Amino acid sequence: MTDQLPAPRAVLLDLEGTLYANDEALPGAAEAITRLRGLGLGLRFVTNTDSKTTARIAADLARYGLDIDENELFTPVVAAQRLFAAPGTRPYTLLSDALSPLFPVNGGGSEGASGGEEFTHVLVGDCRDTLDYPRLDEAFRALRAGAHLVALQRGRYFKRADGDHVDTGAIVAALEYAAGVTARVLGKPATDFFTLAADSLGVPVASCLAVGDDATTDITGGLRAGLRTVQVRTGKYADQHVEGVTGQAHHTLASVADLPALLSTLTTA
């Protein structure tokens, strides 16, 4: 793909499938991060992870040998905290136990969605450790009563060492179908996600490079937001290639280990 985009000033770098997989760093990932820092580029590590706090994510990355500060992470949870800090918002949450405390109004208690003050939103993330049919029903009823559906992300599945798992998108789709509504998505591929990540670095979104393994989120989302994009052939790439899912990235690399060399040519061109 040819383009007239400016030389990159910052990199929005995906985590799972790009820097690590199966709970370990991918070959060359740690060295690539060090080399990118040496190029003087702004870095944001962007992820759709919707089950953990940024502190927990940073701790996990450290265990993998990846030197990433919590403040360098940008997640849909961060975006949701900003959204629900606004006065008058009252979310019913379908979230993990780890994230529920971040949102002071939680519809999972005894009050339920049919009593007391009405909920303004239903917020859905990774809820595999909290979801049951009564809670799904309460979320559905809140939507029928006028609440807006907000999804941290809507991935189809995610990969772990023990195999593939159903992702948040399946729960979001069920609620959309049942309640006849459409979710606002805070994570990738939402354009706002990339724009806010660029804003956190103080650079225009068009001067950023989006790097990832997932054609449907990292690449398609980056392209819609006006970024230069790089597809790596790790993580979900093989599955999506078999399915015929492509994102038409500006550049394709075998792995993130090859990224610093590409950036060296782009920043000096």
Domain map of the chain by residue range?
78-185
pLDDT the model gives residue 3: 57
pLDDT the model gives residue 5: 75
CATH of domain 78-185: 3.40.50.1000
Stated pTM of the model: 0.82
pLDDT the model gives residue 85: 86
pLDDT the model gives residue 137: 96
pLDDT the model gives residue 112: 44
pLDDT the model gives residue 107: 45
Where the chain has pLDDT below 50, the residues are: 2, 106-116
pLDDT the model gives residue 47: 95
Half-sphere exposure of 240 (CA within 13 A, CB side): 25
